[in-house]
């Protein structure tokens, strides 16, 4: 028994040595000794590459600010870490405290992005009937309007009536766009399709539409995806 215990202690010691060595490198205190440009490169590599950053405290960039004060200060003062966001839109009929909490998170995120170009994805699969509040007054849409000129990539999925105030602006620097038409009474915004810089377009339509009638700037498109489904 003593021999077996001795062997296990020796094995633990052999494993503990490299673990302790690497633990020093990843400890919060060690980040103070990492050059700022290296630390920012590490933080940037933690961001998702296949989609916009999500509002999740277990993922970057929010996670990076939960380790220690130094990393939190670095994270919150680096606009490029906040240059993308996916917004999970709540139903307009959701409890006010829940909606206000999401609004506060989005507002803080947008402020941290400073003047950086933004990539925003906005998904709303709610169907609003006549008893629902006016979709055009959705607080998230109203939050995005003032920073619309900073939007380089935007993915907008939802009721066209909900998105109409935002699409009406037609940001000049938008290069990609995803639009969803959920019924024939709310057609796709023609202003959005005529943006001078638009190169990548995805359209999902519930009505039968001849693609050639869409008011797109065909000569500048590099990608076009069209999907039609029954209403």
Per DSSP, the chain holds a count of helices (H) and strands (E) of 7, 6
Phi, psi of 225 (to 5 degrees): -125, 125
pLDDT along the chain (231 residues), means of 10: 83 81 59 80 94 95 89 94 90 82 95 94 68 66 86 72 66 62 54 72 72 82 80 56
pLDDT reported for residue 168: 66
Q: What is the pLDDT of residue 118?
A: 93
**Cα–Cα distance list, 123 to 7, 66, 156 (Å):** 57, 27, 6
∠ CA 88-171-217 to the nearest 5 degrees?
110
């Amino acid at each position: 028994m003593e021999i077996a215990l001795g062997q296990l202690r020796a094995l633990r010691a052999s494993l503990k040595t490299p673990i302790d060595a690497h633990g020093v490198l990843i400890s919060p205190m060690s980040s103070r000794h990492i050059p700022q440009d290296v630390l920012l490169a590490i933080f940037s590599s933690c961001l998702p590459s296949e989609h916009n950053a999500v509002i999740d405290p277990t993922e970057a960039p929010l996670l990076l600010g939960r380790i220690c004060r130094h990393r939190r200060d670095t994270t919150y003062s680096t606009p490029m870490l906040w240059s993308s966001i996916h917004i999970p839109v709540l139903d307009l009929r959701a409890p006010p405290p829940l909606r206000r909490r999401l609004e506060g998170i989005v507002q803080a995120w947008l402020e941290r992005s400073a003047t950086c170009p933004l990539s925003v994805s906005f998904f709303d699969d709610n169907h609003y009937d006549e008893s629902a509040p006016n979709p055009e007054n959705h607080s998230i849409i109203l939050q995005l309007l003032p920073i619309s000129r900073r939007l380089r990539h935007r993915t907008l999925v939802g009721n066209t009536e909900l998105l109409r105030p935002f699409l009406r602006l037609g940001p000049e620097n938008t290069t990609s766009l995803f639009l969803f038409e959920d019924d024939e009474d709310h057609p796709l915004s023609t202003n959005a399709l005529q943006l001078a810089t638009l190169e990548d377009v995805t359209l999902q339509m519930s009505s039968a539409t001849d693609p050639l009638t869409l008011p797109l700037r065909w000569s500048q498109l590099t990608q076009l995806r069209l999907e039609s489904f029954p209403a």
